[in-house]
Amino acid sequence: DIQMTQSPSSLSASVGDRVTIACRAGQNIFTYLNWYQQTSGKAPKLLIYAASSLQTGVPSRFSGSGSGTDFTLTISSLQPEDFAIYYCQQSYSSPLTFGGGTKVEI
């Protein structure tokens, strides 16, 4: 299985802040990397696929970058509705695996 490690596990930020979340894969996954947002009590929502492609309807303040083993999710200006848990997920090989999550708190 490909291990996905996110850092930090949690962070505190304020509205308007620029936030960066890291995800590291246990082996080269090229750009087979997706990002999801999960708000309390809801199903995860796809934000970014193929490391840097913005899913339709997702605000442009979200962006993704990286390839190989190191990836980053950036929120350029944090909004109140962005306080949530963010997960990365690799789709390079089966079984598909997720990172442990990063909780973005006020």
Partner 1 sequence: QVQLQQWGAGLLKPSETLSLTCAVHGGSFSGYHWSWIRQPPGKGLEWIGEINHSGSTNYNPSLKSRVTMSVDTSKNQFSLKLSSVTAADTALFYCARGPVAAGLAAYFDYWGQGALVTVSS
Q: Which residues bind partner 1 (CB under 8 A)?
A: 1, 30-34, 36, 43-46, 49-51, 53, 55, 87, 89, 91, 94-101
- DSSP state at residue 80: G
Q: How far is the CB of 90 from partner 1 (least distance, A)?
A: 9
32 or 62: CB nearest partner 1: 32
- What is the total residue count of the chain? 106
**Distance between CA 44 and CA 31 in Å, rounded?**
20
Is 44 or 75 the residue whose CB approaches partner 1 more closely? 44
In the numeric block, which tokens belong to residue 70? 């190191």
